[in-house]
Amino acid sequence: MLTEFGKIFVFILVAILFVIVAVFAAKILRPARPTKEKLLTYECGENPEGSPWVKFNIRFYVVALIFLIFDVEVVLLIPWALVYRNFGFGGFLIGAIFLILLGIGMAYEWRKGDLEWARPRPVIPVLKKQQQKAEETAVLTE
């Protein structure tokens, strides 16, 4: 007789076996007639130009991650806003702390410049002695 964990294990094995059989059957049954047109990268009906392996600016990924983080936090705020009165002052305090942390995170991203699309170049700090030497060499080269 199988235990509850044994039933789960059998279910997982059957699921994995089903996926393997389905992929193998699809590979056997499908027609394989590649043409130049079929092997092109699809770009919404437009003819592709250049290589499909284009490096995207990292800002696309940073903006997407920031959106996901704050979007998930907002999804957590909606249920809290509906039921925080049931939990009294403790529930309100927990929500307030959550909102404060959310504001701190937003301020950090804003201060860091990740919310600006055209980000300014960072100013690299230099020591006074290095700055004086750089100014002296600049004067000597003039």
User: Any idea what the CATH number is for the domain that residue 39 is in?
Assistant: 1.20.58
Query: Residue 107 falls within a domain, yes or no?
Result: yes
Query: Residue 130 falls within a domain, yes or no?
Result: no
Query: Residue 136 falls within a domain, yes or no?
Result: no
Length of the chain: 142
Q: Which domain range does residue 26 map to?
A: 4-112
Number of domains the chain contains: 1
Say which range, 11-15, 35-39, 106-110, 126-130, has the weakest mean pLDDT: 126-130
Interatomic CA distance for residues 102 and 85, integer angstroms = 21
Q: Which residues contact 87 (CB under 8 A, 6 or more apart)?
A: 94
Q: Is the pLDDT of residue 18 over 80?
A: yes
Q: How far is CA 43 from the centre of its chain?
A: 23
In 3-state terms the chain splits into helix, strand, coil percentages (rounded to 5) of 70, 0, 30
Query: Residue 23 falls within a domain, yes or no?
Result: yes
pLDDT more than 70, % of the chain: 85
Query: Residue 99 falls within a domain, yes or no?
Result: yes
Query: Residue 89 falls within a domain, yes or no?
Result: yes
Tell me what pLDDT residue 100 has: 92
This prediction has a pTM of 0.46
Q: Which residues of 42-53 are buried (b: 16+ CB within 10 A; e: fewer)?
A: eeeeeeeeeeee
Task: Measure the CA dihedral 95/97/101/106, to 10°.
Answer: 60
Query: Residue 121 falls within a domain, yes or no?
Result: no
Query: Residue 68 falls within a domain, yes or no?
Result: yes
Tell me what pLDDT residue 119 has: 64
Mean pLDDT across 20-28: 95
- Nearest 5°: the CA angle 126, 104, 90 is 150
